[in-house]
Chain A
Amino acid sequence: MKMSKQENEATRVLDDDPKEQHITSFGNLVGIWVGLLLLTVVTVLISVLHKNFIAFSVVTALVIASTKALAVINHFMHLKYDSRVLKVMVYIVFGVFTVLIVLTALDYFTRA
């Protein structure tokens, strides 16, 4: 198989590809990071201090974790600036996974 040595070939671009590369600034990235650390502190505090005020449940923990994950996905992984095709795929995959958990849980929650 002949391999072309032209490593300066431009990359293929299709119609729905993002038009120009979006560069996330260091400032933005650090800002997101600060937010992630804050959320981490919040989730630890809620758990450690629950005896005193807020009732901590799995739901709260998962909501905070999901928020952190979304921030990583959209900004660190750049999905916010990627093609619509990719975004749809990611959401559908997470959706399918969630339904799998829900349907399985359905069995266990409704057992006598």
Chain B
Amino acid sequence: MVNSGHNRDDQASKLGMWLFLFTELLLFGGLFLVYSVYRYMNQEAFLQASLHLNIAMGTVNTAVLLTSSLTVAMSVSAMQKGNIKVSINLLILTLLFACTFLVIKYFEWSAKIGHGLFPGMEHYNMLEPGEKLFFFLYYFMTGLHGLHVIIGGIFIGIVIRKIKTGKVRPDRYILLENAGLYWHLVDIIWIFLFPLFYLIH
């Protein structure tokens, strides 16, 4: 009805996407709540555990995601101004940054798993209790976040296709805006994950 061409309502679509973002925020929010309680209860252990993380890689990844947010925001502006080709290229750039993020994440994870630092493995089993909690939360939260990076990437990929087939265009680009909104949320979650896991003192 609303968005099938008859009675189109872009503001409704945008509102719907924001509401969905609220649910994602609360979903991660539950994990942030667990994190904050356990960090409070295990401050020394969390500090010790965080030393295993590579601050350089985390920082680069933060910059990568921030830049990907820039490119997708620019893509929306380009579309609004009618620069369809520029818009597509910026989206492709966004996807490249997304892949970069995932690749760096892959190296981070495999390095740790290579050292036996995964729930169930030997090095992990030798950690202090609070450190174990830190790592469980690290893998759960960055893993869930990574899943959302992939979902966001697929969403952007779909939008690229729809721009190429003319379904998304300067007078009808709410889908692009919504994909951008989703992507920015993914960025915001990482903005908080980064200091909480990598920068504990």
In the complex, the answer to whether A108 meets B41 with C-beta atoms within 8 Å is yes
In B154-201, the 8 Å CB interface with A consists of: 171-172, 174, 177, 180-181, 184, 187-188, 191-192, 194-196, 199-201
Measured as residues with beta carbon below 8 angstroms from the partner, the interface class of chain A is: 35 or more
Which residues from chain A contact B41 at a C-beta distance below 8 Å? Answer: 108
In B110-157, the 8 Å CB interface with A consists of: none
Q: Which residue of B lies closest to A3 (CB)?
A: B4
Mask: chain B, 16-32; 1 = CB below 8 Å from A; 0 = not: 00100010011001001
Main secondary structure of the interface of B (DSSP, over half): helix
Q: Does B103 contact A (CB under 8 A)?
A: no
- Return B154 CB to nearest CB of chain A, in Å: 20
With A29-B74, A44-B55, A47-B199 as given contacts, are A65 and B191 in contact (CB-CB < 8 Å)?
yes
Task: Choose from B55, B77, B194, B195 the contact partner of A26 (Cβ within 8 Å).
Answer: B77
Which residues from chain A contact B191 at a C-beta distance below 8 Å? Answer: 65, 68-69, 72
Bound complex: CA A22 to CA B26 (Å): 29
Measured as residues with beta carbon below 8 angstroms from the partner, the interface class of chain B is: 35 or more
Q: Does B96 contact A (CB under 8 A)?
A: no
With A21-B80, A25-B77, A29-B70 as given contacts, are A104 and B37 in contact (CB-CB < 8 Å)?
yes
Bound complex: CA A101 to CA B154 (Å): 32
With A50-B201, A93-B25, A97-B29 as given contacts, are A10 and B69 in contact (CB-CB < 8 Å)?
no
In the complex, the answer to whether B69 meets A9 with C-beta atoms within 8 Å is no
In the complex, the answer to whether B69 meets A86 with C-beta atoms within 8 Å is no
Task: Choose from A21, A69, A104 the contact partner of B192 (Cβ within 8 Å).
Answer: A69
In the complex, the answer to whether A11 meets B9 with C-beta atoms within 8 Å is yes
Q: Does A23 contact B (CB under 8 A)?
A: yes
Task: Choose from A40, A61, A94 the contact partner of B196 (Cβ within 8 Å).
Answer: A61
